[in-house]
Amino acid sequence: MATLTAALYGALIVYLGGWFLGMWSGNFSLLLFMLTMVTLCFWLAERFVFQPRRLAAAINLEQQDAARRAVLAQQGITRVDGDIEQAKHKLLMQPWWLDWTAGLFPVILIVFLLRSFLFEPFKIPSGSMVPTLLVGDLILVSKFHYGVRLPVINKKIIDNHPVARGDVMVFRYPVDPRLDYIKRVVGLPGDEIAYLGQKLTINGVLVPTVAQGEHYDEDSMSYSPMYTEKLGDVDHKMRVDLRRSAYYGPEPHSFPNAENCRYSPEGVVCKVPPGHYFMMGDNRDNSMDSRYWGFVPDENIVGKAFLVWMNFGNLGRIGAFK
């Protein structure tokens, strides 16, 4: 068993090392599920096999010592050398390979349940959500806001709040579901979304904006106009880059339901299909979003982002956001 445990930890180190070095993409939900199952097997083996064996060995040692002392007492010897407490301690002590498997099961189980059904942490890797979220923000995502989903397979089993226009949502990237993306919900099923001439309209109605001066983006080291935009019941900040034009590639994009979108030199108009959502970044002209790769199906939803819990470069970032 010690060899098996060492082999499992070796495989885990290789997997995490390759993931960290970018040699392959990892699936943390699946990894955590597998770790939970493996440590559960060791915990059950410890509870019903290994621990009873150690207890039986310790009891047998006590019985042997008591029998020896009884024989010596019959011979008139009352003072007997030898203390079995240290030997008992060694017999009852959990070996290292159980301590690092069965011993970790409760902790891994708690992390798995919290991450799967309550809250999951994410780190913002790009500037697509500037100025709402900055690179380096560590955020929390509510996994139950839109309903309870089974871990790994992401199948919803219990409904909760419906997706609302203006929500900041984390979802599995439709092009590669192994990756998690974060954008703002702009279009709901049935909506017609138009982004033309850097103006956003929903179902033919221009989304109201209020100028808020200029915003300095540290990543691009440039200033761009910033606005407060009202999407549904949510007022949030967004920025545009007047130096950039609407360009979505030399060919019409190929993605599921691409026929629902019309591209032109001014921008794009899309009709959101049932069970799907149209997502855009708050950094409108520096965001790869539904304009480029299409709609997000409901089964790809991970949860609603709601809190910056840490930014090591700027503690003032900590707090809730819209």
Output the pLDDT for position 251.
60
pLDDT per position as a tens digit, 266-313? 899 999 999 999 999 999 988 999 999 999 999 999 999 999 999 998
Q: What are phi and psi of 297, to 5 degrees?
A: -75, 155
Cα–Cα distances (Å) from 92 to 46, 56, 87, 217, in that order, read: 12, 9, 9, 61
User: What amino acid positions are annotated as catalytic residues?
Assistant: 128, 183
pLDDT of residue 277: 98
Q: Environment class of residue 94 by beta-carbon count within 10 Å: exposed (0-12), middle (13-18) or buried (19+)?
A: middle
Q: Which domains, ranges and CATH numbers included, belong to the chain?
A: 2-112 (no CATH), 119-320 (2.10.109.10)
Is residue 111 scored above 90 in pLDDT? yes
68/62 Cα distance (integer angstroms): 10
Minimal CA–CA distance to 321: which of 142, 126, 118, 115?
142
Q: What percent of the chain is predicted at pLDDT more than 90? A: 63
Name 185's bridge partners. Answer: 279
Peptide bond into 131 cis (omega under 30): yes
**CA atoms of 321 and 187, how far apart (whole Å):** 20
Reply yes or no on whether the pLDDT at 250 is more than 60: no
Could you tell me whether strands 296-297 and 276-280 are parallel, antiparallel, or unpaired per DSSP bridges? antiparallel
Q: What is the pLDDT of residues 4-16, one digit of tens each?
A: 888 888 888 887 7
Kindly report, residue by residue over 124-146, the tens digit of the pLDDT.
Answer: 988 899 999 999 999 999 999 99
91 class by beta-carbon count within 10 Å (0-12 exposed, 13-18 middle, 19+ buried): middle
In whole numbers, what is the pLDDT of the chain averaged over residues? Answer: 90
Give pLDDT tens digits for 157-216. Answer: 999 999 999 999 999 999 999 889 999 999 999 999 999 999 999 999 999 999 999 888
Cα–chain center distance at 76: 71
